[in-house]
Amino acid sequence: MNTDIKYIEQKARELRHKIVDTTLYAGGAHVGGAMSCADIMALLYFDVLNIDVENPEWEDRDRFILSKGHTAVAFIPALVMKGFLEESSLETFNHFKSPYGMHPDSLKINGCDVSSGSLGHGLSIAVGMGLSAKQLKKDFYTYCLMGDGECDEGSVWEAAMCASHYNLDNIIAFVDRNKCMIDGFTEDVMSLEPLDSKWEAFGFHTLKVDGHNIKALKEAIEEAKATNGKPTVIILDTIKGKGVDFMEGDPKWHYGSMDSDLAAKAKTSIDREVL
């Protein structure tokens, strides 16, 4: 991971612009959580993931699982930016006969490893991929991005227990801790804290970082890769709607729509962010 931090920050800004455009094309999307994970998505796709655009089925590639599948509005534009998909195709997002719905379909989307959207399953799939890599003596990593509201699901913790039991140090999980979910603030709906202690109790090497600080994110992933015998979870301290002033920290923007005027305001806000 030697890519310049400023380059990744610019990619994250570009991704946020594309999230706004795609939300406008679609007539609405899960935009708040897409904005909160834009930085980790940019870092993964433009620095971390060992993948080949020309050979998306390469068996030794790193795997990425968007467990919080409702933020496909961030994932699909990231794949476009990387070169897996045509940019013009974003205009069809969630339209009739489009390959892109509100949740990603791996059978229809080039570069998508896992169909997701039903929350709580991504880490279980990551465990399967991690186990298979160990059995086949492969060196690839599996990265799994979860939402914090998703951690209300019991299946997340069953998968965590399994990952720890089998010492799957080739799994790196992320929790997008933006503290908001569809019904409100996570601590009001179902308290998660102390979230780091929970993961530690399940046997994970646990890190907490500023999820909008590219340097801190890079260092956390490097530490995760240097950790032997344990899976790692990186809890990303993020802001729902990050970069768009009228969305930030507001659960109402878990899903939202915007017209061209509001989209222009969102882009202006994104561009005001100091990189």
Could you read off the pLDDT of 159-201 as tens digits, one per residue? 999 999 999 999 999 999 999 999 999 999 999 999 999 999 9
Kindly tell me if the per-residue pLDDT of 231 is higher than 60: yes
Kindly tell me if the per-residue pLDDT of 2 is higher than 90: no
> What CATH number belongs to 5-272?
3.40.50.970
Q: What angle do CA 128, 70, 30 make, to 5 degrees?
A: 155
**What does the pLDDT read at residue 260?**
96
Helix (H, G, I), strand (E, B) or coil at 210: strand
Mean pLDDT of 149-162: 98
Could you give the percent of the chain with pLDDT greater than 70? 99
Q: Confidence band (pLDDT; 50, 70, 90) for 233?
A: very high
d(CA 266, CA 244): 5
- What is the tens place of the pLDDT at every residue in 74-120? 999 999 999 999 999 999 999 999 999 999 999 999 999 999 989 99
Size of the chain in residues? 275
- What is the tens place of the pLDDT at every residue in 26-60? 999 999 999 999 999 999 999 999 999 999 999 99
151: which DSSP letter? G
- What is the tens place of the pLDDT at every residue in 200-224? 999 999 999 999 999 999 999 999 9
Kindly tell me if the per-residue pLDDT of 68 is higher than 90: yes
Q: Which of 235-239, 243-247, 251-255, 269-273 has the lowest mean pLDDT?
A: 269-273
Task: Name the pairing type of β-strands 232-237 and 142-147.
Answer: unpaired
85: which DSSP letter? S
**Residue of 158, 165, 156, 168 lying closest to 131 (CA atoms):** 168
**What does the pLDDT read at residue 196?**
98
Q: Confidence band (pLDDT; 50, 70, 90) for 275?
A: low
Count other C-beta atoms under 10 Å from residue 13's C-beta. 19
**What does the pLDDT read at residue 274?**
64
**What does the pLDDT read at residue 1?**
54
**What does the pLDDT read at residue 156?**
98
**CB-side exposure of 267: number of CA atoms within 13 Å?**
17
Mean pLDDT score of the chain: 97
142: which DSSP letter? E
